[in-house]
Amino acid sequence: MSKFVSQKIKMKSGARLAAVQANYMIALGQLPVDEVIEDFVRGEVGRFALEENNENEEKLVELGPIDTEYFEKLVRGAQSRKEDLEKSLNHYLHGEWSYDRMNGTMQALLLSAVYELSATSDVDAKVLIQEYVDLAYAFFNKNEPKMVNALLDQIAHAIRG
């Protein structure tokens, strides 16, 4: 794989992480979509992450550049179809995993994931599912990543066949 292709993949992965963060900020703060997107694109938000080392010490690390065009597509798309995406998620979720009972981070992650699964066809569903499972592991450490994997696999089969 060429260095250029590898960098493009990393930038799309970064766009997914930023989209989850942006969708969370929009929902939590009831902020305007355009304002949140602009803050991320200008680098005022989402440039740093906390990283924990083996001694459980945290440090701030700067994230690499993101594919801003793809990021904007993900956020605008998820927000414009939010109601339908949430209905779809509620259809697949049961019991303790109901969408409304999930915390804001999980809601933002699932909203981004289901939008991307349903609105794009240029990336293999398995790749997308793995990307969002990896993001789930970045935010959660219990059963949530397993639930994300199973849920997105089920939705991908229904959407993409």
Domain at 80, CATH number? 1.10.940.10
pLDDT digits (tens, 9 = 90+) for 44-83: 887 767 677 777 777 777 778 899 999 999 999 999 999 9
131: pLDDT confidence band, cut at 50, 70 and 90?
A: very high
Q: Report yes or no on whether pTM surpasses 0.85.
A: yes
Which phi and psi (to 5°) does residue 129 adopt?
-60, -45
Which phi and psi (to 5°) does residue 46 adopt?
80, 10
pLDDT of residue 1: 59
Q: What token pair was written down for 31? A: 């902020």
pLDDT of residue 81: 97
pLDDT of residue 19: 96
pLDDT digits (tens, 9 = 90+) for 26-41: 999 899 999 999 999 9
Are 144 and 106 in contact by the 8 Å Cβ rule? The answer is yes
Q: What is the DSSP string of 22-60?
A: HHHHHHHHT--HHHHHHHHHTTSSSSEEEEE-TTS-EEE
13: pLDDT confidence band, cut at 50, 70 and 90?
A: very high
Asked if residue 24 has pLDDT above 70, the reply is yes
pLDDT of residue 77: 98
Element (H, E) at 61: strand 58-62
Separation between Cα atoms, residue 35 and residue 39, nearest integer Å:
6
Asked if residue 139 has pLDDT above 70, the reply is yes
pLDDT of residue 104: 95
pLDDT of residue 46: 75
pLDDT digits (tens, 9 = 90+) for 77-114: 999 999 999 999 999 987 777 888 899 999 999 999 99
Return mean pLDDT, the chain.
90
Asked if residue 153 has pLDDT above 70, the reply is yes
Name the residue range of residue 62's domain.
3-160
Element (H, E) at 13: helix 3-29
Number of domains in the chain: 1
